A and B are shown apart, each in its own frame.
Chain A
């Protein structure tokens, strides 16, 4: 049974439907990448999953429990964590305080202040510094570390490379690779939104492409080519027009 199941999810911004009838299943331990142009609805989808955006229609089932009506802090307590777009740290609070506030989710696990600092050693000297004074890459590390402190079962990452230098992005993905624990027993389930297709192919098990609020392509990363994904990304190819797309929810049938 999949860890996170999305059934016919719809989310709106006022009168505009940003997410239209999305159905997805995410397995334990897999890394799913969401790609798509700006405005495709990726961030709205993640925010709706995390609970900071209301569900207009459809269901979110997390580990067999319907969490669609659960407020965000309870979903975090259940193990569904989001690293929001733009990091969204608490700038006046220190790095340590930013990390510690996540203890509010009250989840036990392998992540605590010590292990997070081991995963992101560049933060150790900056522990008492105000989060707003850090560089982009360091802030991203704090943001991810903060989410990890909640010991999530599913980690949602929204454009972690946004606004970062190439070197910083490399650093972030190196840490992520350790987190994903490829081939280990405790790999975290990850859903990540990423604009950089090269990176996407490097880290993802499965890729889902969105356009105008819908899923237009879905498949295993090793079975799709970059050109194929780009075609769906720009809308040059749609499922109706006939491409090599598969229905979104057959991921488990491999």
Chain B
């Protein structure tokens, strides 16, 4: 029963990771950039909501109405000032600049808010601890379920947007080939900026749920980035893959926690590395198999050249 409970808790945790990771996955899919400041930006959103809750007594979910546009604007500015220039300079520069940005954000938040850990849990009344009891005595928190639902809704929304709207078409075109997209009238720069703004919207929501379900401090960002990244990679980088990756990560961590006090984090990292390894070696084996099949064919058909 304990293991089933851990499985269920892991599934719920996975919902949070999917929510956290969908912005990272979206930006990587569209622009090929991994934003190392992703976690720090989620923490920034959490602090904004905290200030609204503490000083103006605004319920965090209501506070999102204000924070989401602000974060979207930050995303747009982030793209214009940092990412656009970085992307043109090769693969290293976006990583270096977003790393620098993360460092500036983390330390600035420390400067502004101090080292105390905060949480939004006190401001959401019973949502933070209410739960439903499933058969077998397993308790699922209402907040956890809400997180999972929101994650699925966001992923679904992104999917719909990409596949059924004009903006989505433009994003997909610019993501694949910005030069050719320009030729048919797509302003690739604006499209990328809009994509960053959209990603930041999901980051804002992720920040809210991060702060509601747990505590945070100025240096929580980097670890959130690692979790998001692990979820993206385990799931295979597609949008829905992120959901699956988040769940695998959440389940691994929950089961690991049962095994050993440090097992939570260790299990997550180990599963991530194992998936990475398996993918690399599976790809290798697959490639070798394909090559051997091809060579068998070319010998059967004489001198026919196989095109690569």
Contacts and interface: CB of A to CB of B under 8 A. Distances in A.
- Quick check: do A and B touch in the complex, using CB within 8 A? yes
24 contacts: A50-B183, A52-B179, A71-B182, A71-B187, A72-B179, A73-B186, A73-B187, A76-B182, A76-B183, A76-B184, A76-B185, A82-B183, A84-B180, A84-B183, A90-B176, A90-B181, A92-B172, A93-B172, A93-B176, A97-B172, A102-B184, A103-B185, A105-B185, A147-B183
Interface residues of B, number: 17
A246 interface: no
Contact of B184 (A71, A91, A92, A101): A101
The secondary structure that dominates the B interface is: helix
- Most B CB contacts (10 A, CB to CB) among A73, A81, A93 go to A73
A97 B169 contact: yes
A73 B185 contact: yes
Interface of A: 50-52, 71-73, 76-77, 81-82, 84, 88, 90-93, 97, 100-107, 146-147, 149-150
A76 B179 CA distance: 12
Given A50-B183, A51-B182, A82-B183, A101 B188 contact: no
Contacts of B179: 52, 72
A32 to B, nearest CB: 19
Interface of B: 166, 169-170, 172-173, 176-177, 179-188
Nearest to B176: A90
Contacts of B188: 73
A100 B166 contact: yes
Contacts of B184: 76, 81, 101-102, 104-105, 146-147, 149-150
Nearest to B184: A102
B6 to A, nearest CB: 38
A91 B172 CA distance: 10
A73 B185 CA distance: 4
A106 B173 contact: no
A101 B169 contact: yes
A73 B169 contact: no
B180 A102 contact: no
Contacts of A104: 166, 170, 184-187
A51 B185 CA distance: 11
